Each structure stands twice: as structure tokens, then as C-alpha cells.
Amino acid sequence: MSKLQRLYDEFGQSIWLDFISRDIIASGQFQELIDAGLRGVTSNPSIFNKAISGSSLYDEDIVRLAGEGADAFKIYDVLSQADITAACDTLLPLYEASNRGDGYVSIEVNPDLAYDTEGTIAEAKRLWQAIHRPNLMIKVPATQEGIPAIRHLIAEGINVNATLMFSLSHYEAVAYAFIEGLEARAARGDDLSHVASVASFFVSRIDTAVDKALAAVGNQELQGKIAVANAKLAYDRFKVVFGDARWQALADQGAQLQRPLWASTSTKNPAYSDVLYVENLIGPHTVNTLPLKTIEAFVDHGQLARTVDEGVEEARAQIAKLAELGIDFEKITEDLQTAGVKAFAKDFHTLLVTIAQRAGSITKA
């Protein structure tokens, strides 16, 4: 049995691939990963930028669509939906076999809408209807404007991957938006069992930012530890939120847990283990979304053990120590969310430029 399968069978953690492209689907590698225990896929504007910019498999469609008068956004829209649909169809047997527990594929709303509640809702509904797959998830950033959008979409029965969370306040807002959305459905007598959601909590970027602040005050002891500590506290909060009577009332009506999803789990600092953010966050009712390189590293030398709820009080003390050192952790997490939105928007617009340029150069050639 593969390590990916053992993570699920023995520890209750699902591994999703943090990448999608026509190449990986067409080559059969995607199906091989599923056979080895992969249980889902996530995407974002940065991933599509890498996928489309780095492959010639999209060129024929780019030429055709450009010839039909499609602009760069329309071309992106068609290409991304085609990849997402193909991935959804490939994962549908797992979705059905797991009783809707896994087999999901995520696509993000236009990042330009991150601070536009109504625009996010409209775009999410458009994508949901266009792709029309039960195992699709729409990614919505957990900005102040994104939270009511998440609540509305859950109430409408649309699966949501709430993304770009860096703090416990981000997590709590998302968790309760999910619960409130389900309560609205329940009040109308609508089915709850088909509505799925994950809460994507970003990890490695925390260390990237906090390590700089720690270095500035001369502290080495906490470097490389705060990201895992922060995620462990989020998991601890997850157990509280989804362990009370309010949630149980929804679970009794068939509602699925909104699982924490560890995102940004490739190691950015080469001085740290390349499986740091995998080995230390293993536990039940969680998802870890990994790029292919990190999956390969974990399969090669990762250790299997339940770790996500170990050392919680130590983690709490480590976070508290930041304030003693004069480091404003809440500000860092808010800045990281803002930077994340900007980065996705930048990659999205870079991709649109690339598509436009490629359409022109291919057509001329």
C-alpha cells in the first residue's frame, strides 16, 4: 500500500494535488497518482499560468478560439474549464466511492473579484453552472468581502474551497460562514448532504514572513516553527467549532464536515526539511494539498505518524512568544492575505498577456 493511501486509511488525511495541466491528464500520470492514493486536485491562477505558459498542448485551442474572436480572458476561461472538467470526470469514481468525501477539483474565481462580494457570487455561480460537475469546488478567498460570498454560496448548495486563510480569525470567519450557510439551507428544508467545503489554511508563507521578523529581533529559536504552530492551533479550533451542539444539529441532518486543508505546504526555505509541512500536520479530517515534487519527496522519505494535535500547548506558547518579542503576528497574517490576493491577480494578468501574445504569434506563424 502506498504512503498516500496509508495517510488516508490509517490517519484520515487526504492528499490532493496542488497542480493541474492538460499534460498531466493526457499522459496518464494523473490517473496513476489517483491509483496510488491521490484524492483530489486544487488549482489557482498561478497554477494555470504555469500550466498554459509551459505547454504547447493548448496552442491549437488558442489559435481556434482566437480565430473565432475570443479575447484572452475568454480563451483562458475555455481552457481552464476544460482542464477542470477533465479532472472532475477522472475523479468522479472516487467521489462516488467515497460517498462524496473526496474526489474534488477546485477552480478559483477571478482574483480581481477578491474584494467584491456580489461579483464573487456571480462568478462562482457562473463557473458552477458552466462546469456542472458535482465534485467541483469553487475557490473563494477569505477576505472580508469573501466571507458573505462563502455563506451565500453554501446556502445555494455550491461546494466551496475557502482559500487564503493565514490566521485563526480568518479560519473562524470561514467556519461559521459555512455553518450559517448550511443553517439557511436547513431552514428551507434543503438537502445538506451534497454540500462540501474545505477551509484552506496557508502554511509555509507564514514561516517565510515570520522568520524575517524573528531574524530582525535576533531570535533563532522560533524560526521554522511558527507556521506549523499556527496550523495546529487552527486544527484545535476546528475540533471545537465542529464538536459542539450547533454543528451536531446539522450533522444529524446529513451535513459534511468542512475539513481544514493545509495549503502552501511546499518548503520555501532550503534549510528546512522538504516534508516539514507534511510530516507535522498529519491527522484525521484533514486535507494536505501538495505539488508533485513534494508528493514525490514524501513518498520517498516522509514519516507517517499522527502529529497535527501533538504539542498544541507548546504551539500556543510559541505564538504568544511573538508578542513578547514585539512581533505583530496578526498584522503579518493580514499582510500575507493581501499579498496573496495581489500575487494571484498578478499571475492571472500575466497569463492573459501570455495567451494574447501566443495567439498572435501562433496565428502569424
Question: What DSSP state is assigned to residue 304?
Answer: P
Task: Please report, for residues 101, 173, 183, the alpha-carbon distance to residue 249 in angstroms, rounded to integers and kept in the order given.
Answer: 19, 20, 9
Q: What is the pLDDT of residues 128-153, one digit of tens each?
A: 999 999 999 999 999 999 999 999 99
Q: Using the predicted structure, report yes or no on whether residue 41 has a pLDDT greater than 50.
A: yes
Amino acid of residue 31? Q
For residue 96, tell me if it sits in a domain. yes
Choose, from 3, 125, 139, 232, the residue flagged as catalytic. 139
For residue 51, tell me if it sits in a domain. yes
Cell 468525501 identifies what position? 101
Burial label for 268, CB within 10 Å (0-12, 13-18, 19+), is middle
Q: Using the predicted structure, report yes or no on whether residue 127 has a pLDDT greater than 50.
A: yes
For residue 78, tell me if it sits in a domain. yes
Q: Is 342 a catalytic residue?
A: no
Q: What is the pLDDT of residues 268-299, one digit of tens each?
A: 999 999 999 999 999 999 999 999 999 999 99
What gap in Å lies between CA 19 and CA 16, rounded to an integer? 9
Q: What is the pLDDT of residue 50?
A: 87
Please say whether the beta carbons of 89 and 103 come within 8 A. Answer: no
Q: What is the pLDDT of residues 19-33, one digit of tens each?
A: 999 999 999 999 999
Domain that holds residue 193: 3-206+227-311+343-364
Radius of gyration of the chain (CA): 20
Burial label for 67, CB within 10 Å (0-12, 13-18, 19+), is exposed
Q: What is the pLDDT of residue 365?
A: 47
What gap in Å lies between CA 305 and CA 363, rounded to an integer? 54
- Kindly report the length of the chain: 365
CATH number of 155's domain: 3.20.20.70
For residue 213, tell me if it sits in a domain. no
Average pLDDT over residues 243-265: 98
Sign of the alpha-carbon dihedral angle for 288, 290, 294, 295:
positive
38: pLDDT confidence band, cut at 50, 70 and 90? very high
What gap in Å lies between CA 340 and CA 294, rounded to an integer? 21
Q: Using the predicted structure, report yes or no on whether residue 362 has a pLDDT greater than 80.
A: no
Task: For residue 265, count other CB atoms closer than 10 A to its CB.
Answer: 25
For residue 117, tell me if it sits in a domain. yes
For residue 79, tell me if it sits in a domain. yes
Q: What is the pLDDT of residue 1?
A: 64
| Overall number of domains in the chain | 1
For residue 332, tell me if it sits in a domain. no
What gap in Å lies between CA 161 and CA 157, rounded to an integer? 13
Average pLDDT, the chain: 96
Please say whether the beta carbons of 198 and 275 come within 8 A. Answer: no
Triad 39, 108, 29: Cα angle to 5°: 35
Please say whether the beta carbons of 176 and 147 come within 8 A. Answer: no
Q: What is the pLDDT of residue 84?
A: 97
Q: What is the pLDDT of residue 120?
A: 98
Triad 138, 289, 266: Cα angle to 5°: 130
Average pLDDT over residues 79-108: 97
For residue 216, tell me if it sits in a domain. no
- Measured between alpha carbons, how far apart are the two ends of the chain, in Å? 49
